[in-house]
A and B are shown apart, each in its own frame.
Chain A
Amino acid sequence: MKVTVQFEAQLRQVAAINELQVELPDRDSLQSALQCVCDQLGESLHERLLTADGQVRPSVMVFVNDRPVVSSVSEPHQLIDGDVVLLLPPISGG
């Protein structure tokens, strides 16, 4: 399946790209998709996006097809072909 991952704000700067399409096994998890993205785009993206044990950082808001998603080890969110994952990093510029 193909999944699109979109980056905003600092994540876009670190990724140096607006979005990336990745090829994954069917019904793979959100975590696997993000791990795959980090493998392609580098360690500094990994630091901002994922914890040492591969979980999505709680301060990064994740939306799949514009719906909020919370994904954990115990309840991983499964993706399907064509999903669009939007990653919003925490911002607080005032």
Chain B
Amino acid sequence: MNNSVPHLSDAEKARYEWQMWTPDVGEAGQQKLKAASVLVSRLGGVGGTVAYYLAAAGVGRLVLAHAGNVKPSDLNRQLLMTTDWLGKPRVESAERRLKELNPFVEIHTTSENISEENASSLIGEVDIVVDAAPLFSERFAMNKAAFVQGKPLVECAMYDLDAQLTTLVPGSTPCLKCLYPEDPPNWKREFPVFGAVSGMVASMAAVEVIKLITGIGEPLTNRMLWVNLRTMNFRTLPIAQRPGCEVCGH
């Protein structure tokens, strides 16, 4: 994280007043949020909502990666995409919406999805990575680069009315390849989703990022939360490093 402690203006103090009432956050925690930077990939139903809550919370700098233009089928869940921006770049719609919400947040966008080629440089710009990409190839590229750079990776995913969340910290938790040593067969880029489901896991992922930055609470490390919203069953399951993992094994 950035070591210098940023100043909070009166306007910022007013904006964040209610969250600074969280006893172990206060003004010092808010300054940590302002000093922090987070990469979010991509800005769909999950990632876009994570970015929205991180902007609302006053995370100082957001790096946002998502290729392509807004499509009608994005609009049931991708809350940063607006009807008037159909056919135009998704990152432009996202940046505009986030700036409307909180002009104090610095936003860097790239109209690319994460790949082996750009993962290292984008992750090099930030303190924490939020993985909300729909393809395992993107997730594995982020996992590898985050592990090499020692950056925490908040892993969030959903399918239908199920969702999962875990926080991966290099050196103290498993990595994504420990959980999925092969590129899973049968996974399609398109999946059944209500915005309320992707938004639920996104809100929890944003809380994980806020906890990592401010140091409050206990991050979801070495555990995976699995949520079934059909039954409202929430399980927290232990997860372990896989011996001989190609990324984090020694």
0/1 per residue, A52-94, Cβ < 8 Å to B?
Answer: 0000011101010011101000000000000000101111111
0/1 per residue, B209-247, Cβ < 8 Å to A?
Answer: 000000000000000101010010001011110100000
| A-side contacts of B240, CB under 8 Å | 68
- How many A-B residue contacts, CB cutoff 8 Å? 85
Is B157 within 8 A of A91, CB to CB? yes
| A-side contacts of B200, CB under 8 Å | none
Which secondary structure dominates where chain B touches chain A? loop
Q: In the docked arrangement, what's the CA distance between A88 and B224, Å?
A: 11
Is B159 within 8 A of A9, CB to CB? yes
Which one of B134, B135, B164 contacts A88 once the chains associate, using CB atoms below 8 Å?
B164
A-B contact pairs, 26 of them (CB 8 A): A9-B160, A9-B162, A10-B160, A13-B160, A48-B186, A58-B181, A59-B180, A59-B181, A61-B179, A66-B237, A68-B237, A70-B242, A88-B164, A88-B226, A90-B180, A91-B157, A91-B163, A92-B135, A93-B46, A93-B198, A94-B44, A94-B46, A94-B131, A94-B134, A94-B157, A94-B158
List A residues at the B interface (Cβ < 8 Å): 8-10, 13, 18, 47-48, 57-59, 61, 63, 66-68, 70, 86, 88-94
